[in-house]
DNA sequence: CTGGGGATGGGGCCC
DNA sequence: AGGGCCCCATCCCCA
C-alpha cells in the first residue's frame, strides 16, 4: 500500500535524526526517527511482535529541511515513542513513528516493492532488503565533481553537464549545460524574440519571461500574503515581502 | 522600496 | 540514451 508523503523536519529538531512525517492525503503530521541498521533490525522485530509502531522505508534519507519523497510503508498498530538521543545517523533511510490504528491493517502483508516479494513479517522483508536489494548507498550514482547523488544514471549525466558545460556559444565563448540554454543565450545576440504577448505588443526571448510578463496584465495577482492579504505578481516578491516587509508577520 | 524585464539554472517528462 | 521542451525558480539590473 504505497502512499505519498511529504517530509518536513522540525526546526527545533533540525540537528537530530527525527522530524515529522506528513501525509499529503490525510494531512496529519507524525514524528519520525531515523534508525541505524542494528536498530532497525531490533525495532522491526519489536514492531512486528507488539504492533505498536509504523515503520517507514524510503530510498534515501531526507537531506534538506523540506523534501518530497515517495515512501512505502506498513502499519503496525499501537503507540510508542523513542528517545531521540539514542538515534545515530544512518543510511539507508528507515524510520518509525507512533501508529494511528488503521482499521484492520494488521492483516496486511509486507511486500518488497522492488522485487515484488511478499513477506508475512516486516522483519522478514527487512532481512530480504539487506541481503538482496540494491538498497545501500551503492545504488546511488554519485557526481565526481560535487557531493550530489542521483538514483538514475541519466539524472546524474544531466547533472554532470552543469559542471562540464559542453554547449559553448561561438559568438562570445560563454558555456552552458544544455543546448536549449545556449539557444536562449544566442537570442540575446540575435535579438530574436519568438514569444509574443497576446495583450500588448511586447515580445520575449524566453517563454518563462513571457509568463512572468503575463502576470502584469492580470488583475488578480497570483501570490497572496497570508497575513496582510497583499497580492504579488511573483513568488519572489511575495517571499521578500514576508521575510522583511510585511507589518503583520 | 516596488515592480518588471532579462538572463540563466536545473529537474522532470516525452519522444 | 540523449535531445527537446516545459515548468519553476533565482539573480541581477533598472525605472
Per the CB < 8 A criterion, the answer to whether A196 and A183 are in contact is no
Q: What is the pLDDT of residue A88?
A: 28
Strand-pair partners of A23: A5
From the list A94, A101, A102, A104, the residue with the least C-alpha distance to A125 is A94
- Look over chain A and give the mean of its residue pLDDT values, rounded to a whole number: 55
- The separation, in Å, between residue A163 CA and nucleotide C4 C1' comes to 20
Instruction: For the domain made up of A141-190, give the CATH fold.
Output: Double Stranded RNA Binding Domain (3.30.160)
Q: Would the Cβ of A176 be found within 7 angstroms of any atom in strand B?
A: yes
Q: What is the pLDDT of residue A3?
A: 27
From CA A163, how far away is CA A150, in angstroms rounded?
15
Q: What is the pLDDT of residue A185?
A: 86
Q: Which residue is nearest to nucleotide C8 (CA to C1')?
A: A208
Q: Which CATH homologous superfamily contains domain A195-245? A: Classic Zinc Finger (3.30.160.60)
- The separation, in Å, between residue A208 CA and nucleotide C6 C1' comes to 10
Q: Which residue is nearest to nucleotide B2 (CA to C1')?
A: A237
- The separation, in Å, between residue A169 CA and nucleotide B3 C1' comes to 32
Residue of higher predicted confidence among A74 and A168: A168
Give A84-93 pLDDT, tens digit per residue.
222 223 323 3
Q: Would the Cβ of A195 be found within 7 angstroms of any atom in strand B?
A: no
Per the CB < 8 A criterion, the answer to whether A75 and A108 are in contact is yes
From CA A186, how far away is CA A175, in angstroms rounded?
11
Average pLDDT of A56-69? 34
Per the CB < 8 A criterion, the answer to whether A233 and A212 are in contact is yes
Give A125-181 pLDDT, tens digit per residue.
544 444 444 344 345 667 777 767 776 777 778 888 888 888 888 888 888 888 888
Point out the nucleotide closest to A208 (alpha carbon to C1′): C7
Q: What is the pLDDT of residue A61?
A: 39
Q: What is the pLDDT of residue A115?
A: 54
Domains A141-190 and A195-245 equal at CATH topology level: yes
Report how far Cα A241 is from the mean position of its chain's Cα atoms.
Answer: 26
Q: Where are the domains of chain A?
A: 3-139, 141-190, 195-245
Nucleotides of B strand lying within 7 Å of any protein CB atom: 1-12
Q: Is the confidence at residue A25, as pLDDT, over 50?
A: no
Q: What is the pLDDT of residue A33?
A: 41
Report how far Cα A172 is from the mean position of its chain's Cα atoms.
Answer: 37
Amino acid at each position: 500500500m504505497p502512499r505519498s508523503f511529504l517530509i518536513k523536519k522540525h526546526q527545533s529538531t533540525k540537528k537530530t535524526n527525527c522530524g515529522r512525517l506528513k501525509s499529503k492525503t490525510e494531512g496529519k503530521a507524525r514524528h519520525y526517527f531515523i534508525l541505524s541498521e542494528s536498530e532497525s533490525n531490533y525495532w522491526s522485530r519489536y514492531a512486528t511482535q507488539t504492533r505498536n509502531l509504523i515503520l517507514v522505508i524510503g530510498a534515501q534519507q531526507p537531506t534538506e529541511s523540506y523534501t518530497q519523497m515517495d515512501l512505502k510503508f506498513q502499519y503496525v498498530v499501537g503507540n510508542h515513542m523513542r528517545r531521540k538521543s539514542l538515534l545515530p545517523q544512518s543510511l539507508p533511510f528507515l524510520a518509525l513513528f507512533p501508529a494511528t490504528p488503521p482499521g484492520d491493517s494488521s492483516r496486511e502483508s509486507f511486500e518488497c516493492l522492488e522485487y515484488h516479494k511478499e513477506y508475512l513479517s516486516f522483519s522478514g522483508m527487512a532481512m530480504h532488503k539487506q541481503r538482496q536489494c540494491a538498497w545501500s548507498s551503492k545504488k546511488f550514482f554519485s557526481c565526481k565533481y560535487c557531493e550530489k547523488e542521483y538514483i538514475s544514471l541519466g539524472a546524474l549525466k544531466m547533472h554532470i553537464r552543469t559542471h562540464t558545460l559542453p554547449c559553448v556559444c561561438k559568438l562570445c565563448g560563454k558555456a552552458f549545460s544544455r543546448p536549449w540554454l545556449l539557444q536562449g543565450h544566442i537570442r540575446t545576440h540575435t535579438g530574436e524574440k519568438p514569444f509574443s504577448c497576446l495583450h500588448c505588443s511586447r515580445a520575449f526571448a524566453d517563454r518563462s519571461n513571457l509568463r512572468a510578463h503575463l502576470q502584469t496584465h492580470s488583475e488578480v495577482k497570483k501570490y497572496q500574503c497570508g497575513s496582510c492579504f497583499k497580492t504579488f505578481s511573483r513568488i519572489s516578491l511575495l517571499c521578500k515581502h514576508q521575510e522583511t516587509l510585511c507589518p503583520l508577520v
